[in-house]
A and B are shown apart, each in its own frame.
Chain A
């Protein structure tokens, strides 16, 4: 096990390095730079700015300095677009926002999705099952950039129940719509996943045996079926969580929550190299970390798995 963790961490390092190099080069290939503006800067002014941000150096030097700053001081550098802010600061304000509504959406999706899936499987081919399956597919195919405006139309304009956006320090009123919009499609996938794996377990031999022994249904489901049925869900949790965080662009866009998702898209469009790198590295690191955690948890829960 320990060896496995070490091996996984050993892979993480080249992965991140590759990610940094790849994004760095790709980014610098994009037309225009951070200081390409509507009002073209006079060459001398531009030269001063580029010197300040080290953009006058050859690209490999820029990359090395960037990596050095990152490794030595954990410093993602200054933002080129927001000139009195550092990338660390932008991440420090944006990431907790995304993390808050991301985690909440995650919990909602897993709990509701899991519950719905199990219920559907137990009552297979009943109206409840059809409802759950229909709802989950419906939710999965409705893009959240459609959900966003529809939710706003209903809850903000018609019912006047909730604010139309903003973060406001994370008040619950500001959280409701983003969490609904973000969690729905994930909830749908989880419902379908839980349903099919629960069905599979219910049809397996050991449950049949338990049933033949005359154990009450509730005992069979909760004592014997639940754990193996939820196992496949685990391998899905890592990617789902990361995907929620990276998929937060739409939420930030429609609900003006000011999270990390919109920061990335804007930085790509603004050629704010440092912010873009910072967010990419953060996301890459998170992906690696979560996949590792999930795999470890998986191994812990299911002793049959050996690495």
Chain B
């Protein structure tokens, strides 16, 4: 048996003095705390659900992390820290995990949180009757029998989960998965209260019915307008919580949201593209930008339905070279985004960005090279390259597509048509390879390079451009079991930089207006898994 190193965590927490809180000072930093500890932030759209096994959107997951607590949490840097589980044991063959749950963990109605609650929740996530859009996550976790249960060929009770007793939760995997514990911070794996669900059915997530085990409970929910959560007195670590109340406001228009931030109604909102520099000047303490685990890129359609010209590597290279990424990051987005010459962002844990040749050139050199390459491929003034860019309706995507089309037109004489599609139409067209070039963004599901590079696998369902390269496939499958996969990742990025199946454009940042007195925002957590209980407001 291998012991994990989480035991220290809980001890460290209990050592913190509580007397400081009484004096309204922060127990660790000694800062003077504000009297009113209310955190209000803007969300673009209503959360999809408040059921941890069903929720599928980022907004909903943020709420889930406050309302529920899974086996493990993430700290400010994205590392694991104890949640309901204090630590786990792993069997020799690395397929059986035994999680030890803290006995003091309580539901908001006072009932203890037990291993049975996890068994119930995990079985529920896989159950076809629940019809969770995140049922695939259970498969992704490699839980024993998960695939067959989702397919309806086995009963949910056959899932590889077991409560050894109230405080020992045993999980059996179908194959070893090194990052399995990392996945237990995801909302799908949070426990759910069987008694509340059975008593209220689908209505169990209404504020008056909801039972949860996180640092907060749901106090109010006005659909499409606001939701309010207040601290949970029964949370095992309630003493450490400082923020009393968290309010989310649905504001569709980002400009309207910014106005309301400026009017003092919000503590956090996004800064629209292009506006960061001026707010950095006027509100230096509040305008922040930090890297995010996402990559923005254009797919070429490599399949038969794509333009014939794209079968020529030189055409793809020419288009990629002629796209001036600095104009896009510095003149359009202006939010500290990083020009991208590789698919995987530099912020990805354990990933070293390889120095790809075209990333080293100056834009002038790239432009010259692009013209040569396109001429070699046989396209020019008499035989102009013609294609369409599809993108989904959004100011940012529109601006980038317009700029790109103008760069290609002015530098290469290409005739580029723009096609703005609303979201679902866009997705449908992209999946059916009904496009020439399409706009894409990909955010990592977990913090490791394969979450990006897997898209280049010929069998990936997200390989919308239908790019096929056997070497890449081989390198990717080797990386799954390799001790150190970095060499494989470097090689794949080099292949991408040469073959240019996609045009990497930029790596994202989060660009926020964040109240200067709202402290401890986890800007180093690349996945942006934040917990309200870690935040606090200082007196101004």
Contacts and interface: CB of A to CB of B under 8 A. Distances in A.
Query: Is A–B contact present in the complex under a CB 8 A cutoff?
Result: yes
Interface of A: 30-33, 35-42, 44-45, 48-49, 51-53, 78, 81-85, 89-90, 93-94, 97, 149, 152-153, 156-157, 160, 163-167, 252-258, 262-263, 266, 269-271
B51 A49 contact: no
A258 B255 contact: no
A33 B422 CA distance: 13
A5 B461 CA distance: 58
A35 B249 CA distance: 25
A206 to B, nearest CB: 53
A237 B255 CA distance: 34
Given A31-B424, A32-B425, A164 B256 contact: yes
Interface string B411-453: 0000000000011110111010000000000000000000000
Interface string B44-74: 0111111100101000000000000000000
Contact of A256 (B135, B256, B429): B256
Given A48-B131, A90-B223, A262-B252, A41 B260 contact: no
B202 interface: yes
B170 to A, nearest CB: 25
B224 A84 contact: no
Contact of A41 (B45, B136, B202, B203): B136
A157 B131 CA distance: 46
Contacts of A45: 132-133, 135-136, 150
Contacts of B56: 37
A81 B45 CA distance: 11
B259 A164 contact: yes
Contact of A32 (B54, B133, B252, B428): B428
B179 interface: no
Contacts of A160: 263
Given A256-B249, A257-B225, A269-B423, A163 B260 contact: yes
Contacts of A271: 424
A164 B253 CA distance: 12
A93 B202 contact: no
What are the 3 tightest A-B residue pairs by CB atom distance, in nearest-first order?
A32-B424, A258-B225, A52-B131
Contact of B152 (A48, A152, A157): A48
Interface string B144-183: 0000001110000000000000000000000000000000
B250 interface: yes
Interface of B: 45-51, 54, 56, 128-129, 131-133, 135-136, 139, 150-152, 202-203, 205, 222-226, 249-253, 255-256, 259-260, 262-263, 265, 422-425, 427-429, 431, 461-462
A53 B473 CA distance: 37
B48 A83 contact: yes
A81 B56 CA distance: 10
A263 B133 CA distance: 22
Nearest to B56: A37
Nearest to A86: B202
16 contacts: A31-B425, A32-B425, A33-B424, A40-B461, A42-B136, A45-B136, A82-B48, A83-B51, A84-B50, A97-B225, A157-B259, A164-B259, A165-B260, A167-B226, A263-B224, A269-B422
B135 A48 contact: yes
B462 to A, nearest CB: 7
A32 B425 CA distance: 6
B191 to A, nearest CB: 17
Contact of A258 (B50, B133, B222, B425): B222
A48 B128 contact: yes
Contact of A165 (B48, B132, B251): B251
Contacts of A157: 259, 262-263
Given A37-B56, A40-B431, A157-B259, A166 B225 contact: yes
A93 to B, nearest CB: 5
A296 to B, nearest CB: 35
Q: Which of A44, A49, A263, A271 has the most CB of B within 10 A?
A: A44
B102 to A, nearest CB: 29
Given A44-B151, A263-B224, 12 more contacts: A33-B424, A37-B133, A41-B133, A81-B48, A82-B49, A83-B54, A152-B256, A254-B256, A256-B251, A256-B253, A258-B250, A271-B424
B433 to A, nearest CB: 13
B265 A166 contact: yes
A30 B223 contact: no
Contacts of B253: 253-254, 256
